[in-house]
Amino acid sequence: MRVKRAKHAVSIKLTVLWFLVFMILFSGVSLIRTAIENNKEWVNPYLDVNENMWSYQYITELSKAKVLPDAEKFEPTVEETRGNLVLYLYSMDSGPFKKRDKIQPEKDVQVPDFEDVTKDSKYYDAVCWAYEMGLASGVDETHFAPDDLLTREQVCTIVARFAAMEKLELIQVKEPKQFKDSLYIASYARSGVTACQISGVVNGYDNGFFYPAENMSRQECAAVIYRIMMAAKTEIPEGVDLVDLTAGAYDELYKNYTDIPFTALVPASAEPGPVSFFDKTVFIGDSISMTLESYCTATGALGKAKFLCAGSMSPTNMLTGKILPEYPKGSGQKPPIQDSVAATGAEVVYIMLGMDNIAYGVDKASSDYVTIINNILTRNPEVQIVVQSVTPMTADSPRANATLNNDTINAFNQKMQEICQKNRWYYLNVSEKFKGEDGGLIPDYCSDKSSMGMHFTYDGAKVWVDYLLWHIPEDLL
């Protein structure tokens, strides 16, 4: 009996010994595997992200840190969404920032049952976390709207709250600045925008605007998140000023800001501007602008200005894709207008559309016009917009009718000037140069008096060029 007990004890000891050996070997293999994974060379998962992009470092470093999800494409120029932003910040909080001493959520925070973020959604955990931490709420009691696009002021607000929650210390590298549109920043976002501006996390534009309501692209959003990630690694020198991340910390600044006057209508200058200014411009227009294009191509009157023009093109048929300009010339390709503008590299967009749209009614024509311009600005947020008034028809134009005539053209132009004032776009009253005493297009400038009464001769194009040179917006020079 004692022999059996001894054998049984030995068997137990051997079992325990082998278990310990197995655990040691398993742990060793796990440590080796972890070390290999940590030292494994990173491979770019995105087919559309390359070293020639300005955002390459931001995107790749966030990918290495596993803040961005792996996917076949990153789509850097696509506008970013609310759901993705909280997902990235959640990944950073549970990844690179996991061990940080951070502010804890308030007790008894009840996350609403958002109808558009169910438990099987990829955003579910991130949205619940963001709501509990007070980073982002729903757009109403039952919707979070994860697919809604993010504006610049919204990104600043959420990122500033995240930095405060993580107890980050952001160095103040700039003084607070009033932008030309600071007073158009939503009240809830003002301190967040200022905190991001003075820390260099989100910058304004060289033209003095912040554009708070413009959407932010995925690569722009990646740049912001990367700067926050790097701020956590930055050693803070003694004596430097830090950004105050307290909610509402900079609201008082805005009480001292006064609205910066802006007049959309561009006045005549004291002298003509340089032709070289137009090297950075692109002109968008219909068949009327095609005469200007032909004249400038033959004479170089507007330097290296580019043109995106097509006959019968209007905002409405551009939105449907029915008529779009070819770009590059001779390629047969007709991309969306915002992509063509981006491809030209232009900094200033001159646009004259409406003659083929006004017949739909002034409200419809102007509404579609605004949509086209906003599409251009979303894709190209740094460009400046100069809207040119639609030029008149001859007083006896054969094409004049009840819906398209000089009265409706004048009403449309007035509406567009008001829209430009509201949106702080420049407005160029080109039509004033071509009106005769009867209010119609001066016949000497018209190339088709007997058929349409609206297109230009080269003499008319020459006068047009002269008007453009004398009416360059001073802020753009």
Q: What is the pLDDT of residue 380?
A: 87
CB distance 109 to 131 below 8 Å: yes
Q: How does the average pLDDT of the chain come out, rounded?
A: 90
Other CB atoms within 10 A of residue 324 CB: 20
Reported as a single tens digit per residue, the pLDDT across 266-305 is: 999 999 999 999 999 999 999 999 999 999 999 999 999 9
Reported as a single tens digit per residue, the pLDDT across 61-112 is: 999 999 999 899 999 989 999 999 999 999 999 999 999 999 988 777 889 9
**From CA 189, how far away is CA 96, in angstroms rounded?**
27
pLDDT of residue 161 exceeding 90, the answer is yes
Reported as a single tens digit per residue, the pLDDT across 394-444 is: 999 999 999 999 999 999 999 999 999 988 899 999 999 999 999 999 999
CB distance 344 to 323 below 8 Å: no
pTM: 0.64
Distances from the Cα of 363 to the Cαs of 327, 358, 366, 368, in angstroms? 30, 9, 5, 9
Amino acid identity at 58: Y
Distances from the Cα of 210 to the Cαs of 97, 189, 199, 325, 369, in angstroms? 30, 12, 15, 30, 23
Reported as a single tens digit per residue, the pLDDT across 18-66 is: 544 444 444 444 444 444 444 568 899 999 999 999 999 999 999 999 9
Task: Give the mean pLDDT of 125-135.
Answer: 95
